[in-house]
Amino acid sequence: MKALRLIFKWLLTCFASFFCTVVISQSPPEKTYTTHDGLPQIQVMNMMQDSRGLLWVATKKGLAYFTGSKFMDINRLHTLGHSLTDFLAELPDGKILFNQAGNQQMLTFDGANVDTFSVKNWNGGRIRPVFQIKNYLYFISLKTSEKALYRYNIVHHKLDSVALMPGTELASDKSGNIYFLMNRKELWKQTFDGKLTLMIRPGLNQTLKFNLENKGYPLYHVSRN
């Protein structure tokens, strides 16, 4: 009986060791990616997964995409210099649209070549993208100090403008609506078809502020001065 107990304990020990080994081996490993893995810089400004499944990472020193084992630095491979990139979008033709904030450029990458992105019939100088919704690119002009938001149809190359008041903050939701926070005193909503509606105007001693932590739709909260 004593021998049987010893054999039973030995079998339990072997089984426990095997089970722990299997569990540990199935635990996903953690890895911190750095410049040694191809990232231009470790401070991430924006991320996006395109329609092909590629992961794109915008950093303070440029753009890179992940191959599954390492990052490919677009700025280094195409000798663009290292400039802050904080905007990413996939165009309808599959090209990746990104900005170079340092030299105020908009560029596209088709997987092989980098080209300058231009807005047809636009003579307002350098632009800064704000967001993309469906086939529309929303941007502001860097040529003047006026607060004006422009909407450009990437497919049909049509340009629209939306007049804004000074001190305006912008946000968008996943349905294509734009929210304007004017001087933190009025919240306006413009639907995708262009209808503009005043959402809320707080009291005299209150101000509005965006809270964009909610994914998909912007929230706001009222605070006292």
Same domain, 172 and 153: no
Same domain, 82 and 132: no
Structural domain for 176, as ranges? 167-225
* pLDDT over threshold 50, residue 69: yes
Q: Is residue 73 very low, low, confident or very high in pLDDT (cuts 50, 70, 90)?
A: very high
Spatial contact of 150 and 116, defined as CB atoms under 8 Å apart: no
| pLDDT tens figures, 86-116 | 889 998 889 999 988 776 788 999 989 999 8
What is the number of structural domains in the chain?
3
pLDDT computed for residue 219 by the predictor? 53
Quick: pLDDT tens for 118-163: 888 888 777 878 788 778 888 877 765 555 778 899 888 888 876 6
Q: Let me know if residue 57 belongs to a domain.
A: yes
Evaluate the CA torsion angle 208, 210, 214, 216 in order and state its sign: positive
Inform me whether the pLDDT recorded for 12 exceeds 60: no
3 within domain boundaries: no
Same domain, 112 and 127: no
Name the pTM for this structure: 0.66
Task: Please check whether residues 77 and 110 belong to one and the same domain.
Answer: yes
Do 83 and 46 fall within a single domain? yes
3-state SS of 17-46 is HHHHHHHHHHCCCCCCCCHHHCCCCCCEEE
